[in-house]
């Protein structure tokens, strides 16, 4: 079985879990330790990617480019990656990150909107960056549509295309079908990014690997949006048991999780009733904190808000709809 390259996403996806409050010292400390553990890629950005620090998505405590710079300065083996969602981040943001030393660009779009990534993928390639096409909310498109969109990203120059289970809604057989189809139709590397809202992040990651994915995202201590991502240190242990090489030091990752990451968590990363509802309803994992705030403001069960968002097929970039939905449900409740 092919060796697996891991991208550690705690310094990007994990930003959601701590309300985008990372400090330079925290990022430097975590990146330095991950580098010593020989993690090949470390993603550093606002939870919603470059340019994400806004009132709509959540304000960062520290300018994300300062965090990128701190991470770059802390490593001599690992490559620093950044996420960019066209429409949130810009090509200029990407160029600034590259100037600071970022080596990988992960260009993310909704699963049916790969065409908006063309300029950003092409620019990243021109800058000499390893480039990823990141198809978010992959559960919302049939396999045939996913293949079509992945081919577009590959045609723009993507070195890797990811199936991204942003809602943690995919079941293992659905992951298998998607990865198998991409492996058959594309010549570039194939990746998988899971969320644990249905307690399937590990199982889905293994299903992806068994169908030929060779790039897998993990988050140390499971730190990520919703119920978090595939837990990196556990993933490395499982892959080692399977005889699959990652090149990452398992003991060091365990120590980083326990001694460096755990102390900064506001609460343990676990499957709560709200994060479980995200996966059940097929709702973007980063909506969790926004739905909780709307729940408190309007006195509506957050699960009802999330279920309604799922029924309306609301996607990333439509965070303003969370307030609208909560207000509508409150109005309906008052009129009963």
pLDDT in tens, 182-238: 999 999 999 999 999 999 999 999 999 999 999 999 999 999 999 999 999 999 999
Q: Does 117 carry a binding-site annotation?
A: no
The arithmetic mean of pLDDT across residues 124-142, rounded, is 97
Provide the annotated active-site residues: 16
Q: Which two tokens stand for residue 165?
A: 């289970």
User: What pLDDT score does 64 carry?
Assistant: 94
Q: How confident is the model at residue 54 (pLDDT cuts 50, 70, 90)?
A: confident
Answer yes or no: is 15 a known binding residue.
no
The answer to whether 162 is annotated as binding is no
Q: Is 41 annotated as a binding residue?
A: no
pLDDT at 267 over 90: no
Residues 89-96, mean pLDDT to the nearest whole number: 97
pLDDT above 80: residue 317? no
pLDDT at position 281 is: 93
Please give the pLDDT value at position 152. 98
**pLDDT of res. 219:** 98
In this prediction, residue 283 has a pLDDT band, given cuts at 50, 70 and 90, of very high
What is the rounded average pLDDT for all residues in the chain? Answer: 95
Judge whether 193 is annotated as a binding position. yes
Q: Which of 143-152, 175-184, 296-305 has the lowest mean pLDDT?
A: 296-305
**What digits encode the pLDDT tens for the residues 148-187?**
999 999 999 999 999 999 999 999 999 999 999 999 999 9
Three state DSSP letters for the chain: CCCCEEEECCCCCHHHHCCCCCCHHHHHHHHHHHHHCCCCEEECCCCCCCCCCECCCECCCCCHHHHHHHHHHHCCCCEEEEEECECCECHHHHHHHHHCCCCEEEEEEECCCHHHHHHHHHHHHHCCCEEEEEEECHHHCCHHHHHHHHHHHHHHCCCEEEEECCCCCCCHHHHHHHHHHHHHHCCCEEEEECECCCCCHHHHHHHHHHCCCCEEEEEHHHCCCCCCECEHHHHHHHHHHCCCCCCCCHHHHHHHHHHHHHHHCCCCCCCCHHHHHHHHHCCCCCHHHHHHHHHHHHCCCHHHHHHHHHHCCCCCCCCHHHHHHHHHHHHHHHCC
pLDDT surpasses 80 at 2: no
- Which value, in Å, is the radius of gyration of the alpha carbons in the chain? 19
Asked whether residue 12 is marked as a ligand-binding residue, the answer is yes
Strand partners, 314: none
pLDDT for the residue 1: 47
Domains of the chain: 5-263 (3.20.20.70), 273-334 (1.10.8.60)
């Amino acid at each position: 079985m092919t060796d697996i390259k891991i991208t550690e996403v705690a310094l990007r996806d994990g930003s959601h879990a701590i309300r985008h409050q990372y400090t330079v010292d925290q990022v430097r400390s975590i990146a330095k330790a991950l580098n010593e553990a020989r993690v090949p890629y470390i993603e550093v950005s606002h939870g919603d990617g470059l340019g994400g620090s806004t009132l709509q998505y959540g304000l960062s405590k520290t300018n994300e480019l300062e965090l990128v710079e701190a991470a770059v300065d802390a490593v001599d083996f690992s490559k620093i990656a950044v996420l960019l969602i066209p429409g949130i981040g810009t090509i200029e943001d990407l160029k600034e990150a590259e100037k600071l030393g970022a080596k990988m660009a992960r260009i993310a779009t909704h699963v049916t909107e790969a065409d908006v990534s063309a300029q950003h993928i092409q620019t990243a390639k021109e800058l000499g960056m390893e480039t990823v096409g990141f198809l978010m909310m992959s559960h919302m498109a049939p396999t045939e549509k996913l293949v079509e969109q992945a081919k577009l990203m590959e045609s723009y120059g993507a070195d890797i295309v990811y199936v991204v289970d942003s809602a943690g809604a995919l079941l293992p057989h659905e992951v298998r079908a998607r990865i198998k189809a991409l492996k058959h139709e594309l010549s570039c590397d194939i990746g998988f990014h899971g969320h644990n809202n249905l307690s399937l992040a590990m199982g889905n990651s293994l299903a992806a690997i068994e169908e030929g994915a060779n790039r897998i995202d993990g988050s140390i201590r499971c730190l990520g949006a919703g119920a978090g991502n595939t837990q990196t240190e556990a993933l490395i242990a499982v892959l080692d048991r399977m005889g699959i090489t990652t090149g990452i030091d398992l003991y060091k990752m365990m120590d980083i999780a326990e001694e460096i990451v755990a102390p900064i968590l506001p609460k343990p990363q676990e499957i709560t009733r709200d994060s479980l509802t995200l996966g059940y309803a097929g709702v973007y994992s980063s909506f969790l904190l926004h739905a909780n705030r709307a729940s408190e403001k309007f006195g509506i069960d957050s699960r009802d808000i999330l279920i309604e968002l799922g029924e309306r097929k609301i996607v990333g970039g439509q965070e303003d709809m969370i307030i609208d939905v909560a207000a509508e449900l409150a109005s309906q409740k008052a009129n009963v």
